[in-house]
Amino acid sequence: MSEHISPKLLRISILLILISFGSTICVMAQDTDDDVRGACTQSLDEARTAFDEGRIHEIPGFLEDCLGRNENAGGFTDVEKTEALRLLILTHIYLEEPEDADSRMLELLKHEHEFQVNDAIDPTEFILLYNSFRTKPIFSVGFRLGATGVLVNPTAANGTFNLNSDERGKYGLKAGFPQVGMAFEFKLNHQFTLTPELLYSLQSFDKTSILPRDGNSNITSELTIVEEQTWLTLPVGVQFFPFGEFGDDLTPGIRPFIQLGASVGYLLDAKTSPDESILNIDQRQNPQLPTIDLTPDREQINYSAFAGIGAKVKVGEGFALAQLRFHYGIPDMVKEGSFYNNPTVWELQNANDQFKQNLVTFSLGYVLHIYSPKKLDTKIR
């Protein structure tokens, strides 16, 4: 009597066989890739030996095949490819094949945008060839995200009471978040970079005063006026890298910089959110105060000079950045004629002081360099 295999058991058996077969194929493919990659590493070693021994004509034969494949297909790693292209360029220079040398140099610069010659070991011909190409980024683009602190610099006090007492008011520092926007960079040379930015920022500060609320000062209140402003700013600065664009042994992998520049800002909105606390009687409730629009009383343009410090660190294809800046505000920010003619006088018994607006900003960002290497036109015109 014959035994029949159930369809369900048959399907499971076939599935297991296919899984086992697929796993075997994957392992074999991985082993093949590893063998090919190992062969390319060995080919690079043989090309180095041939170069050191002066067997220049043999070098292309060792490298061409592996250069034609990417790393996933068993070709060179990024570091190995850079070295292989350098060896081929030197080979074409020594064999007096300038067009091939140009072609491989362009390939090298497209592969490794930040390749740098080594004056200590690279031949003069190689350095001259490198310098005949555009190797610097044509520009850089990135973003900024940070916070802004306003340091109010009063230049003239105004008030409805005694300005020689606490009624004059004290300004406090508040952090405004976010400061966000785009940044562009144009490299001037290996130590100087021009950096225009376009930023949207929230800025805030407060003023606290102790004010009498009756004729005999028997009732006083602490009035805190928080002013919140929205700005669109255009800072333009120059970054100076004291150790060069690639740092030195004191700052491996880090590119510290100093920045100087100027900024112009356009005020989009200004409003105050006042808060008042009655101090010396318990039974009186704190008054509810309205939000007041201060935009008509403020100058809409603020320009400043700034100085700052920062650093860049290579991350992926670009650079992470952190910077701290101080902006010195130049113009007075309160319009003439609005010191006492504004809603805060009538609503809060508070007059506008005249003041300049200094800033402290801290931001993080990321910058991506845009390269377009090409052979420079060296013909004499």
29 occurs within a structural domain: no
Tell me which of 211 and 246 has the higher pLDDT: 211
What is the average pLDDT across 252-281? 85
> Using 50, 70 and 90 to split pLDDT, how confident is the model at 220?
confident
Alpha carbons 365 and 257: distance in angstroms, whole number: 14
Average pLDDT over residues 74-102: 94
pLDDT value of position 57: 93
**Per-residue confidence (pLDDT) for residue 109, from 0 to 100:** 95
pLDDT of 179 above 90: yes
The verdict on residue 213 lying in a domain is yes
Q: What DSSP line would sit under 216-236, residue for residue?
A: TSSSEEEEEEEEEEEEEEEEE
Q: Mean per-residue pLDDT for 321-336? A: 95
Same domain flag for 335 and 262: yes
pLDDT at residue 156 tops 90 = no
| Joined tokens for residue 101 | 């040398």
Considering the domain architecture, whether residues 218 and 351 belong to the same structural domain is answered as yes
Kindly state whether residues 49 and 148 are assigned to the same domain: no
pLDDT of residue 37 exceeding 60, the answer is no
Confidence check: pLDDT of 263 > 60: yes
The rounded distance, in Å, linking the Cα atoms of 332 and 355 is 5
Q: What is the mean pLDDT of residues 230-247?
A: 88
Of the pLDDT bands very low, low, confident and very high (cuts 50, 70, 90), residue 209 is confident
Q: Answer whether the bond into residue 178 is a cis peptide, omega within 30°.
A: yes
Reply yes or no on whether the pLDDT at 248 is more than 60. no
Q: What is the pLDDT at residue 379? A: 55
Say if 193 falls within a structural domain. Answer: yes
Residues 225, 76, single domain; the answer is: no
Does 24 map to a domain?
A: no
Residues 165 and 248 in one domain: yes
113/147 same-domain check: no
Q: Which of 96, 131, 166 is the last residue of a domain?
A: 131
Is residue 84 in a domain? yes
Q: Looking at the structure, do residues 118 and 248 belong to the same domain, yes or no?
A: no
Give the pLDDT score at 152: 94
Per-residue pLDDT band for 371 (boundaries 50, 70, 90) equals very high
124 in the same domain as 146: no
Going by the DSSP 8-state scheme, the letter that residue 286 receives in this structure is P
**pLDDT for the residue 34:** 45
Give the tens place of pLDDT for each residue, 120-132: 999 999 999 999 9
Give a yes or no: residue 47 inside a domain: yes
pLDDT of 36 strictly over 60: no
* pLDDT given for residue 32 in this prediction: 45
pLDDT confidence bin for 51, thresholds 50/70/90 = very high
Domain that holds residue 95: 37-131
Is 151 exposed, middle or buried (CB count within 10 Å of its CB: 0-12, 13-18, 19+)? Answer: middle
CATH code of 316's domain: 2.40.160.20
Does residue 11 register a pLDDT over 90?
Answer: no
- Quick one: pLDDT at residue 165? 55
pLDDT value of residue 28: 46
Q: Give the C-alpha separation, 79 to 123, whole Å.
A: 20
State yes or no: pLDDT of 290 exceeds 80: no
Please tell me whether residues 257 and 205 are part of one structural domain.
yes
At residue 380, the pLDDT reads 41
Residues 15-33 have pLDDT tens digits of 777 676 665 555 444 544 4
The count of domains in the chain is: 2
Average pLDDT over residues 204-208: 90
Within a domain: 21: no
Lowest mean pLDDT among 116-120, 147-151, 200-204: 116-120
Which contacts of 343-347 are long-range, i.e. CB under 8 A and separated by 24 or more positions? 343/292, 343/293, 344/225, 344/272, 344/274, 344/292, 344/294, 345/160, 347/274, 347/289, 347/290, 347/292
Do 126 and 189 belong to one domain?
no
Average pLDDT in the 54-58 region?
92
Tokens 């008042």, residue located: 276
Does residue 196 lie in a domain region?
Answer: yes
Mean residue pLDDT of the chain comes to: 84
Q: Tell me, yes or no, whether 82 and 214 share the same domain.
A: no
Residues 344 and 299 sit within 8 Å (Cβ to Cβ): no
Residues recorded for the chain: 381
Please say which residue of 131, 152, 179 terminates a domain.
Answer: 131
* Final residue of a structural domain among 102, 131, 160: 131
Q: What is the pTM of this model?
A: 0.74
Cα 333 vs. chain centroid, distance in angstroms? 30
Q: Torsion over CA of 63, 118, 52 and 59, rounded to 10 degrees? A: 20
What is the pLDDT, as a whole number, of residue 202? 96
DSSP string, 70-105: -GGGT---HHHHHHHHHHHHHHHHHTT-HHHHHHHH
Higher-scoring residue by pLDDT: 347, 380: 347
User: Are residue 100 and residue 119 in the same domain, yes or no?
Assistant: yes
Q: Say what the pLDDT of residue 185 is.
A: 94
Query: What is the Cβ-side half-sphere exposure of residue 78, based on CA atoms within 13 angstroms?
Result: 7
158 pLDDT band, cuts 50/70/90, is confident
